[in-house]
């Protein structure tokens, strides 16, 4: 059987981020997005795994990390550097720290942008609009690749 893009089946995964450490959570999501659990996916093929993360604002981090982890952005103007700690970013945009961490674990190419845009769904609450796809619930603490 020749492996092509048409042979890859679309799979939906649901992950509850409440109480899970950020590193474990982001590495598991990145592995699922890249299709490392599927023997048919090759590096030249685009995986069709869709990952839904609920309670993305309730992931676990150490108390020290909330004050020492900073996110920087630059407006392009002189003295336009904005720096904000993790706790402030979670209050302003609850899903953004996880999105940035998952983006950092993907390959640095055009495929990673497409994977993030099409296959990753982050929600701050426990509700999501993808019930019709019947996502498979995944416990990241027991996930082995």
pLDDT digits (tens, 9 = 90+) for 3-55: 777 777 889 999 999 999 999 999 999 999 998 888 777 777 788 899 999 99
Query: What does the block give as tokens for 59?
Result: 């992931």
Model pLDDT, residue 64: 85
Closest-CA residue to 61 (of 19, 103, 30) = 19
Q: Residue 1 pLDDT more than 80?
A: no
List pLDDT tens digits, range 76-129.
Answer: 999 999 999 999 999 999 999 999 999 999 999 888 898 999 999 999 999 999
Give percent of the chain with pLDDT exceeding 70: 99
* Residue 64 half-sphere exposure toward CB, CA atoms < 13 A: 0
What digits encode the pLDDT tens for the residues 58-81?
999 888 888 899 999 999 999 999
Closest CA to 140 of 9, 37, 3, 68: 37
pLDDT per residue as tens digits for the range 120-145: 999 999 999 999 999 999 999 888 76
Classify 86 in phi/psi space as left (phi over 0), alpha (psi -120 to 50) or beta: alpha
Which residues, other chains included, contact 130 with Cβ-Cβ below 8 Å and sequence gap of 6+? 12, 50, 52, 121
Gyration radius (Cα) of the chain, Å: 17
Catalogue all structural domains in the chain, each as residue range(s) with its CATH number. Answer: 5-61+94-138 (3.90.1180.10)
């Amino acid at each position: 059987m020749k492996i092509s893009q048409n042979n890859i089946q679309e799979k939906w995964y649901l992950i509850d981020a409440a109480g899970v450490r950020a590193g474990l959570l982001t590495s598991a999501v990145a592995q699922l997005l890249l299709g490392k659990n599927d023997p048919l996916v090759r590096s030249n093929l685009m995986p069709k795994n869709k990952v839904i993360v609920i309670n993305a604002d309730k992931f676990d981090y150490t108390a020290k990390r909330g004050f020492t982890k900073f996110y920087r952005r630059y407006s392009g103007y002189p003295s336009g550097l904005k720096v904000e700690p993790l706790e402030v970013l979670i209050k302003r945009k609850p899903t953004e720290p996880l999105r940035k961490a998952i983006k950092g674990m993907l390959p640095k190419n055009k495929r990673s942008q497409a994977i993030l845009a099409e296959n990753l769904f982050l929600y701050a609450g426990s509700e999501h609009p993808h019930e019709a796809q019947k996502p498979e619930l995944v416990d990241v603490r027991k996930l082995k690749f």
